[in-house]
Structure 1
Amino acid sequence: MREREIVDGLWERIAPLIPTRSRRFRYPGRLARDDRAALAGILFVLRTGIPWQQLPTSAFGVSGSTCWRRLVRWQQQGVWQRLHEVLLAELRAAEALDLAYAVVDASHVRALKRGDHVGPSPVDRGRPGSKHHLITDTAGTPLAVTLTGGNRNDVTQLIPLIDAIPPIRGRRGRPLRRPRKIYGDRSYDHDKYRRLVRARGITPVIARRGTGHGSGLGQRRWVVERSFAWLHAFKRLRTRYERRADIHQALLSLACAAICLRRLHNSN
C-alpha cells in the first residue's frame, strides 16, 4: 500500500473514534488544526524516524509540536488501542485472522534517553534499553504489543501479553480472545508460567532449556520474527527516543494498526 492509502484507510477508521472537543464560546482561541493532517504527520514521523521538530510544516499543514500533542491526547483517550481493535475485527470478519495458535517473542531496542521502562540491556553491554514484547496470530498479525525495560525477563511478560489480547469482534457470537495454543522459544520455559497458561485454557508449546535444536517449533515461530521486521520497518521504533513510555506505546499501537491495515488490503 502507498503511504497516502494508509493515511486514508486509517483516517476512515479513526475519525469516529476521536472524541468531539467542546467548543469554547467566550474565549475560543485559535482554530484547531485538522486532525487528518495531524495523523499524516504522526505517520510520517513514525515511518521516517525524524525528530518532531523537523516535520515539514509546509508539506503537512501542521507542526511537529501539534502532531506530538495529538499523539499524546489520543493515547490518553484510548484512541490508538481502539483503532487496533477495529482493524482486528475487520480482519476477523474477512476471515484473515486465525487464532488456532499464537506466537510470542521479544526484541531489544536501544533507549537513547532514560525514562519509564528503561533498563540495562544484557545484549547491549548494559546500555540503557527497552524491550518490545509481541504476540501474533498464525500469520504474524500483531494482536498485542507491550513495552518493558531491557533487563526484564521474557517469561515474566507471557501472561501480561496473553491478557493484553483485546476481545476481537467482527463475527456473530462471542468475541474471540484466547488462542488454543501458545508457541514460544526457550526464554519462556518455566513450569510456573506453563501452569498459568493452562489455567487460561491455552496449551503451551514451549521449547525446553537444555534440549537440542530441531524441535520443529521454528516452522510455526518464524512468523513473529517477520512481524518484528514489519514493526521495526517504522524507523521511529528501531531506537527509542521518547522518555515517556506512554508515547512510545502509542507509536507501537499505531504501527500495529498500520500492519493490520496492510494485511486487510492484501487479503481482499
Structure 2
Amino acid sequence: MNTFVVDGTFVKAAMSGSKIGNTKVGKGTKVMQMVDKEGLLISLHIDSANPHESQLLIKTLKNSISHTMPKYILGDRAYDSDKLDMKCKKMGVTLVAYHKLNRKNITQDGREARRLKKRYIVERTNAHLKNYRKVNVRYERNPKLFEDFIWMAHCLIFIKKFNIHNDYLVA
C-alpha cells in the first residue's frame, strides 16, 4: 500500500522571473513536494508563491514519477477542503488531513488520521533541501533550471541517506 506525504515550502527569489510571485514577506516561489515513506521524492511542482498549497496538490499529483496512483496522501490542515477531497476521490486517492478548527462538517474519524504521525518525513525532507544554496534562495530566472537544481539536491540527499560512494561527496 503506497502512502505519500505532501507539503509545500516557500523559497525566496533574488531576482524576478517566471513563476515568481509577491507575498507579504517578499517575492518567491512555492515548491510542492510529494515524498514516500523513506523521504524520497516522488513528485515535484514549482509555482508562483501566490496560490494556496491546496490548489497546487492536483498539479503535484500529475507530475508524479510513480506509475501508480497512491492510495493515501497525507497532508496538514491546509489540505482540509471538501472540494479537494472530491477531486482526489475522482482520481482514486484518499486525502488524509486533520480538520481545521472551525470546521462544521466532520468527514473523517480518527482512524485514518493516525497515519498523520508520519508527516515528519516531508518536513525533514524540506529541511534537508534548505541546506543547498541553489535551492534555499532562487537565483535563476528560468523555472526549469531551478526545478533541475531541486532534483539534483534530492539526488544528493538520496546518496547521503544511503551512503552510496561517500568518498566522492564534497560538502
- Report the 3-state secondary structure (helix = DSSP H, G, I; strand = E; otherwise coil) of the residue aligned with 2:30: strand
Greater share of helix = 1
- Report the 3-state secondary structure (helix = DSSP H, G, I; strand = E; otherwise coil) of the residue aligned with 1:128: strand
Q: Is the 8 A contact 1:185 1:207 kept in 2?
A: yes
CA distance in 2, matches of 1:263, 1:178: 25
Q: Which residue of 2 aligns with 1:199?
A: 90
Render the CA deviation track for 1:50-81: whole Å, top value 9, x for unaligned: xxxxxxxxxxxxxxxxxxxxxxxxxxxxxxxx
Paired amino acid for 1:238: N
Greater share of strand = 2
Q: Which residue of 1 aligns with 2:10?
A: 108
CA distance in 2, matches of 1:217, 1:183: 7
Runs of 4+, deviation exceeding 6 Å: none
- Report the 3-state secondary structure (helix = DSSP H, G, I; strand = E; otherwise coil) of the residue aligned with 2:84: helix
CA distance in 2, matches of 1:242, 1:100: 34
Paired amino acid for 1:109: V
Deviation at residue 218 of structure 1 after TM alignment: 4.8
Q: Structure 1 residue aligned with 2:123, among 225, 228, 233?
A: 225
CA distance in 2, matches of 1:234, 1:220: 24
- Report the 3-state secondary structure (helix = DSSP H, G, I; strand = E; otherwise coil) of the residue aligned with 1:165: coil
Structure 1: tracts of 5 or more residues without a match = 1-98, 168-175
Corresponding position: 1:145 with 2:36: no
Q: Is the 8 A contact 2:10 2:31 kept in 1?
A: yes
Deviation at residue 150 of structure 1 after TM alignment: 1.2
Q: Which residue of 1 aligns with 2:106?
A: none
Deviation at residue 259 of structure 1 after TM alignment: 2.4
Q: Is the 8 A contact 1:165 1:177 kept in 2?
A: no
Deviation at residue 102 of structure 1 after TM alignment: 0.6
Q: Structure 2 residue aligned with 1:119, among 10, 16, 21?
A: 21
Corresponding position: 1:183 with 2:74: yes
Q: Is the 8 A contact 1:108 1:121 kept in 2?
A: no
Q: Is the 8 A contact 1:207 1:217 kept in 2?
A: no
Equivalent pairs: percent with the same residue? 25
Q: Structure 2 residue aligned with 1:162, among 51, 61, 68?
A: 61
Q: Which residue of 1 aligns with 2:150?
A: 252
Q: Which residue of 2 aligns with 1:66?
A: none
Q: How many residues align?
A: 156
Paired amino acid for 1:165: S
